[in-house]
Amino acid sequence: MGGTSFWSRLARDRLATTGFAITVLFVVIAAIAPWIVPYPEAAHEIAPMNRLRPPSEAHWFGTDRLGADVFSRLLLGTRETLFVALFGVGAAAVIGVPLGLIAGWLDGWVSDGIMRLADIFLAIPQIILAIAIAQTLGPSLVNVVLALGFTIWPWFTRLVFAETRALRREPFIEACAALGASPWRTLALHVLPNLASPLVVRVTLSMGFAVLTAAALGFLGLGAPAPSPEWGRTIAEAREYLPDAWWYALAPGLAIFIVVMGFNMLGDGLRDVLDPKLRRSVAASRAQSAKVQEA
Partner 1 sequence: MPLLLRFGKRLVWSIGTLLGVVVIVFAISNVIPADPAALVAGDSATAEQIAETRARLGLDLPLYQQLFNYLGRLLQGDMGTSIFTARPIAEDLLGRLPATIELALGSMLLAVLIGIPVGVISALKRGSLLDHAVRVLTVSGFAVANFWLAIMLQLLLVMWLDLLPLFGRIEGDAPAFITGLYTVDALLTGNWRALGDALWHLALPSITLALPVAATIVRFTRTGVLEALGRPFVPYAQAMGLPPVIIVWRYVLRAALTSVVTQIGLVTGTLLGGAVVVEAIFDWPGLGGYTVNSIMMSDYSAVMGAALWIAAMYVITNVIVDAVQAMVDPRAAAR
Point out which residues bind partner 1 (CB under 8 A): 116-117, 119-129, 131-133, 135-137, 208, 212, 215-216, 219-222, 232, 235, 239, 242-243, 246, 249-250, 252-253, 256-257, 260-261, 264-265, 268, 291-292, 294-295
Nearest Cα to Cα of residue 230 among 206, 207, 211: 211
Choice between 86 and 167, CB closer to partner 1? 86
We find the least distance from the C-beta atom of residue 131 to partner 1, in angstroms, to be: 7
Choice between 146 and 176, CB closer to partner 1? 146
DSSP character for 106? -
Choice between 6 and 246, CB closer to partner 1? 246
Q: List the beta strands (DSSP E) in 70-215.
A: none
SS3 content of the chain, % helix, strand, coil (to 5): 80, 0, 20
We find the least distance from the C-beta atom of residue 176 to partner 1, in angstroms, to be: 35
We find the least distance from the C-beta atom of residue 1 to partner 1, in angstroms, to be: 26
Choice between 81 and 164, CB closer to partner 1? 81
We find the least distance from the C-beta atom of residue 264 to partner 1, in angstroms, to be: 6
DSSP character for 187? I
CA distance 218 to 148: 12
Half-sphere exposure of 121 (CA within 13 A, CB side): 23
Q: For residue 239, what is the enclosing H or E element?
A: helix 231-239
We find the least distance from the C-beta atom of residue 174 to partner 1, in angstroms, to be: 30
SS3 131: helix
Choice between 108 and 243, CB closer to partner 1? 243
